[in-house]
Amino acid sequence: MTGSAGLGDTGTFGGAGDAGLLSPVSASPLVGALTGDQAVLAAILAVESGWAAVLEKAGLAAAGSAAVVSAAAEPGRYSVAGIARRAQGGGNPVIPLLADLRKNVQALDGTGIGAGKAVHTSLTSQDVLDTALMLLARNTVEALLGDLKRTTAALASLAEEHADTLCVGRSLTQHSLPFTFGLRAAQWFHGVAAAGRQLEGLAYPVQFGGAAGTLAAGTVLASGSSSTPFSLADALAAQLGLAAAPAPWHTNRLVVTSLGNALAAVLDAFGKIAADVLFLSRPEVGELAEPRAAGRGVSSAMPQKQNPVLSVLVRSAALQAPQLVAQLHLAAANFNDERPDAAWHTEWPALRQLLALALGAAGHVRELAEGLQSFPDAMRRNLDLAGPLLLAEGVGAAVAPLLGAKDGLTGKEQLQAVVDQTLQAPSGEQAATYRRLLRDAVPAGVLTDLRLEELLDPASYLGEAAGISRRIQAAFPEFAAPTALPDTDVNGDPRG
């Protein structure tokens, strides 16, 4: 190994020395900038700098302290790799970072105002790291929601464009009933919009409790002033743009598990889209295709292949999320005492990985939705594979009540017998067989040829497909409208 890298030359996305080689879904400059080790370090420093500003404004730190601490808290002054190694000594990265921060504050405090007294006073490591991770989560979710709303806008457009595009519905892998591609896109929209609304409803509270969650040191700090530990905590929340907390939440981890649940819900919805596209883009199905881009979908051995890589990456993220959320819940259930031991430590990587996966997948699924290619002719071809048998439910509902008992069979049983006999015929003959047997079973006086053809038209048995699609979009209007396109693509490159 070479010597330790400084902050500026790690070039990492997911941690010191980790460029995402085995996690391509989240290997992007945007994901790295918002969830990588540099982002964690910057968030911790922002909390410490923000706290110094709060103390100075409250008259609890010398005038000018905040400026000194802010200058000392410039992330470029610190080595991620070095701090990560030294974190083993105290069990978390705040402790070694504080040691370096205090040295830098002392070096920059040229006038000797005692700015160092504003650093970390009355806080504990968990206060700082929990608050820093809330900053990290807020910033990441903000970017994630931007991609998510671009995705829902694209899906809403697909739903409207293909409201009448016939395709086949599938149930337990088999053709079931006539469907529309518009409704399929609307259901994709439904899943993503509902998960997005859940994500939008989250709060990112500041953590402030002191060594044991009693605010004892904060009470001493604020004594003799007009401040209280609670007002200082609220001021820190305002300073950082976070939510105020009614009380310390050192061992009450609903904030974290709720965030994890919401991120997993987003990835679930993304995973549904990816799974459908993976199936529908198979050559033998051919109803959809991913947008093409230079170098995407290539095979190392087969030059003719065009792999649906966007969907593969999105699905890979969706399949990882449940285990990560389970880790958050496992940790939450084991937060012992008033400040926990190892359970807290297991929370950090799981939460950060969820954020990285969700943000990475959001960029890919947005590109997929905005450039998805659809092939209505192939959809109709696949719809016609089952022939008129696909309408057997509708025929039964319309005709069975008109038939009297015959040979001891009810009308419904007579029509089921027609279906059973049809299924015994060779597949290429089933369409003609069903029409003939149906015509033989139902007197012309009960069912005219014209009415029969109406019943065997797939467009006649779509139920409320169009209405369902409209109701879905009406329920989530804020997700149906297009939003401003980000200046960069999923790889962080400028858009043309």
- What string of DSSP letters covers 63-116? TTHHHHHHHHT-GGGS-HHHHHHHHHHHTSTHHHHHHHHHHHHHHH-TT---GG
Query: What phi and psi, each to the nearest 5 degrees, are found at residue 180?
Result: -130, 145
3-state SS class at 429: helix
Under the banding of pLDDT at 50, 70 and 90, the label for residue 191 is very high
Under the banding of pLDDT at 50, 70 and 90, the label for residue 257 is very high
pLDDT tens readout for residues 209-224: 999 999 999 999 999 9
Distance in angstroms (rounded) separating the CA atoms of residues 134 and 140: 10
Average pLDDT (76-94) is 95
pLDDT higher than threshold 60 for residue 492: no
Average pLDDT (160-175) is 97
pLDDT tens readout for residues 94-142: 999 999 999 999 999 988 999 999 999 999 999 999 999 999 999 999 9
Looking at residue 10, what is its pLDDT? 39
Percent of the chain with pLDDT over 90: 85
pLDDT higher than threshold 80 for residue 297: no
Neighbours of 8 (CB within 10 A): 12
Which pTM does this prediction carry? Answer: 0.91
Per the annotation, the verdict on 157 as an active-site residue is: no
Considering the chain, what is the average pLDDT of its residues? 91
pLDDT higher than threshold 90 for residue 447: no
Q: Hey, what are 255's tokens?
A: 């904030």
pLDDT higher than threshold 70 for residue 304: no
Average pLDDT (487-495) is 46
Query: What phi and psi, each to the nearest 5 degrees, are found at residue 251?
Result: -120, 5
Close Cβ partners of 220 (under 8 Å, ≥ 6 residues apart) = 122
Average pLDDT (280-304) is 82
Average pLDDT (452-471) is 96
Looking at residue 293, what is its pLDDT? 81
Give me the catalytic one of 339, 352, 374, 469: 339
3-state SS class at 167: strand
Neighbours of 258 (CB within 10 A): 16
Nearest Cα neighbor of 29 from 366, 472, 444, 360 is: 360
Under the banding of pLDDT at 50, 70 and 90, the label for residue 483 is low
Under the banding of pLDDT at 50, 70 and 90, the label for residue 490 is very low
Give bridge partners of residue 494 from the DSSP assignment: 488
Per the annotation, the verdict on 435 as an active-site residue is: no
pLDDT tens readout for residues 367-386: 999 999 999 999 999 999 98
3-state SS class at 176: strand
Give me the catalytic one of 225, 282, 299, 460: 299
